[in-house]
Amino acid sequence: MERADVIILGGGLVGLTLAIALGKHGVSTIVVDPADPEQTIAKTFDGRATAVSSSSFRMLQAIGVAGRLEGHGCPIQSIQVSDGLAPGGLVFDAEQGDDPLGMMFENRLIRAALFETAKTVPGLNFLPKTRAAEVVRDAAGVRIALEDGRLLAAPLLIGAEGRNSPTRDAAQIPMARWSYDHVAIIQTIEHERPHGNVAYEIFYPAGPFAILPMLPGTRSAIVWSISAADAPATLGLPDRAIAAEIEKRMGGFLGAITLAGPRSSYPLGFHHATQITGERLALVGDAAHGIHPIAGQGLNLGFRDAAALAQVLVEGARLGLDLGDAQLLARYARWRSLDTFMVAASTDTLTRLYGVPGKTASAVRRFGMSLIHRIGPLKDRLMAEARGESGDLPLLLRGLSI
Amino acid sequence: MANASEPSTIDPKEAAHFGKMAADWWDPKGSSAMLHKLNPVRLKYIREQIDHHFQTDETSRTPLAGKRAADVGCGAGLLAEPLRRLGADVTAVDAAPENIAAARLHAQGQGLEIDYRVGSADTLDGLYDLVTSLEVIEHVADVRGFVGGLADHLAPGGLLILSTPNRTPQSRLMMITLAEGLGQIPKGTHDWNKFLTPEELCAIVRDAGLDVVDVEGLSFSPTRGFVLSENTSLDYFIAARKA
């Protein structure tokens, strides 16, 4: 029987970040993940990129991950939101001397940095290429039998397996969920003209289209959402045809483009667990909530879960509490519930608002955007949201140790 | 343990009452739900006093390593278990055998080694670096005798931590009228007339030969729940040291 303070099922970006944050503060973990790390950091595995908010990045600095990402992130200095290619959209600029609005990283590079860091963290026991065959949670603790026969025990289980979390489903936690009936196509491109560290979010009736700046300055990640019905045909197009479709939607302002890297697609949906805790159980990241990738907030929400839960557990451990204590879990749930729901609900509203076709809807959107543009405080609030700086911030998100 | 040998400071009616609750002790939604809710803030106070008194590193998980701790009136071990996890060698006593039975069972399930005993402070042996007795004094028949007993088992330089409800209109409203009236605390748990004010309890502690080093309130905020504050009108802690 292998024991630890916490067992984390799912060693993805959020699960590993949490394990490292806990380990750095003396809380031991066993992380179980079915994937092979060699494969998940390969160039061909994952073409996704993430806009890491400055508060998320401060946490990566505080737990010793950021050093391994040095020079790999492209700062976003400005976000331009527009209704199609029409003028009059919203522009969010980072203040001179202030943090950028986010840093674009390839997910596989973040994953590689986490794997490397995890190897150096005492008390972090990473068990790849296996999964839980049986999980028992009761008043005495959590006991797990792995498929390879090993037995694990801990006072607390954390479900970090992503949107199809078996842990969440086994706990019978009800979900609010719906599908957007859309698929996101993710594609890295090279373009003729430099992006100037600007991220573009262009709303088309068929779905939002985002151009996210990457390194070097003539490379961007495209997040292109199309209806599920059109997906197979579009994904099956030859490279040159896809490139032409993308270029059309970009309005040509970055010049001619070529594809750089694998193309992948993900079904888009909204899901929100009505509870994120259970008996000796906490959910983090997409296991708890999955949101539309339009604003690049999904992983940041997961990082905020990790930061809050790490603080709750580390502070609980220093009080000598059972880490599965119901009061600790209640604190985590209270801390995260509002933030999670606000971000989920607002990205959902945004997506629906922009999904309405027709000239009138478009005029209303443009009017709304120009209005937001003129109202300083609201804009500040939206920028703070993009940076991930609203709410009562966990210490790690301020770059501080717990 | 035979009744005849039970120390005089324990009120037998009170001990029987908690015995009934024993099986339910560790259920966070059971009859001790209020104690479970109070536990993190109580432990926060104790941890702060430990770090201050013993000059321990506030980021350590085992600030009590190598120290002896005694918890008197331990119930089913809600405080004794955390003290053990913080590294102490823990002796915990309670007048109700049912509580001790529940406590032993629970500690075993948690893999924690704690010396549980049925009785009062006079079942302790030798000297302890830390002695705690939380929400107990208001149930005790002879408070002076009880505090004196705790002081006798405190090592020189040792730390005593007590908590108890204040005798104020607020505490009567919150703890008797509301909490017991609404069933958040079982009816008959408290007798308001036995509550002591901080001044009265400080005097008793000083008379037992200890220096009071801190008095802090435990108050309730509708938005943040139980919090430590200067407001002692509901419930309060006293920390004292033996010279």
Distance of alpha carbon B20 from alpha carbon B3, whole angstroms: 17
For the entire predicted model, the pTM comes to 0.87
User: What is the model's pLDDT at position B5?
Assistant: 41
A2-72+103-177+270-354+393-397: CATH topology? FAD/NAD(P)-binding domain (3.50.50)
Say which of B29, B44, B84 has its CB closest to residue A319.
B44
**Residue A339 Cα to chain centre, angstroms:** 14
Residue B99: what residue type?
A: N
User: How high does pLDDT run on average in chain B?
Assistant: 88
Torsion of CA A229, A230, A235, A239, to 10 degrees: 180
- A70: closest CA of chain B, how far (Å): 29
- A234: closest CA of chain B, how far (Å): 52
A139 with B26: Cβ contact below 8 A: yes
Partner B, chain A 311-340, Cβ-Cβ below 8 Å: 316-322, 325-328, 331
Say which of A320, A327, A328 has its CB closest to residue B85.
A320
With CA atoms as reference, the chain B residue closest to A402 would be B59
B110 with A140: Cβ contact below 8 A: yes
User: What is the model's pLDDT at position B4?
Assistant: 39
* Per-position DSSP letters for B5-21, written without gaps between them: GS-TTB-HHHHHHHHHH
- Parse chain A into domains and list their residue ranges: 2-72+103-177+270-354+393-397
pLDDT in tens, B116-146: 999 988 899 999 999 999 999 999 989 999 9
- Which residues of chain B neighbour A23 with C-beta distances below 8 Å? none
* Region of poorest pLDDT, from A123-127, A134-138, B43-47, B172-176: B172-176
| CA distances, A399 to each of A21, A59, A122, A391, B59 (Å) | 12, 5, 21, 16, 17
User: What is the model's pLDDT at position A153?
Assistant: 96
In terms of C-beta density within 10 A (0-12 exposed, 13-18 middle, 19 or more buried), how is residue A153 classed?
middle
User: What is the model's pLDDT at position A39?
Assistant: 84
Partner A, chain B 101-160, Cβ-Cβ below 8 Å: 109-110
Mutate to test the interface with A, among B26, B37, B38, B39 (most CBs of A within 10 A): B39
Encode chain A (402 residues) as per-residue pLDDT tens digits. Answer: 999 999 999 999 999 999 999 999 999 999 999 999 888 877 766 677 888 988 899 999 999 999 999 999 999 998 888 878 776 667 777 777 777 888 999 888 999 999 999 999 999 999 999 999 999 999 889 999 999 999 999 999 999 998 888 999 889 888 777 676 788 888 899 999 999 999 988 888 777 888 999 999 999 999 888 888 888 888 888 988 999 999 999 888 899 999 988 888 887 777 778 789 999 999 999 888 877 665 556 788 899 999 999 999 999 999 999 999 999 999 999 888 766 666 655 555 555 555 555 555 555 555 555 544 454 555 555 555 555 544 578 889 888 888
- A328: closest CA of chain B, how far (Å): 8
Is residue A122 within 8 angstroms of chain B, CB to CB?
no
Q: Phi/psi at A30 (nearest 5 deg)?
A: -115, 125
Confidence of residue B187 (pLDDT cuts 50, 70, 90): confident
Sign of CA dihedral A370, A372, A377, A381: negative
Confidence of residue B6 (pLDDT cuts 50, 70, 90): very low
- Parse chain B into domains and list their residue ranges: 12-241
Is residue A205 within 8 angstroms of chain B, CB to CB?
no
Say which of B26, B29, B83 has its CB closest to residue A320.
B83
pLDDT in tens, B220-233: 877 677 899 999 99
Q: What is the CATH number of domain B12-241?
A: 3.40.50.150
Say which of A140, A325, A402 has its CB closest to residue B109.
A140
A320 with B44: Cβ contact below 8 A: no
- B108: closest CA of chain A, how far (Å): 9
- CA nearest to A275, candidates A153, A165, A393: A165
B40 with A321: Cβ contact below 8 A: yes
- B193: closest CA of chain A, how far (Å): 31
Distance of alpha carbon A380 from alpha carbon A376, whole angstroms: 6
User: What is the model's pLDDT at position B3?
Assistant: 40
Distance of alpha carbon A351 from alpha carbon A394, whole angstroms: 29
Is residue A348 within 8 angstroms of chain B, CB to CB?
no
Say which of B37, B61, B83 has its CB closest to residue A327.
B37
For residue A141, the cross-strand partners are: A138
B109 with A317: Cβ contact below 8 A: no
User: What is the model's pLDDT at position A295?
Assistant: 58
User: What is the model's pLDDT at position B2?
Assistant: 37
- Which residues of chain B neighbour A28 with C-beta distances below 8 Å? none
> Which ipTM did the prediction report?
0.88
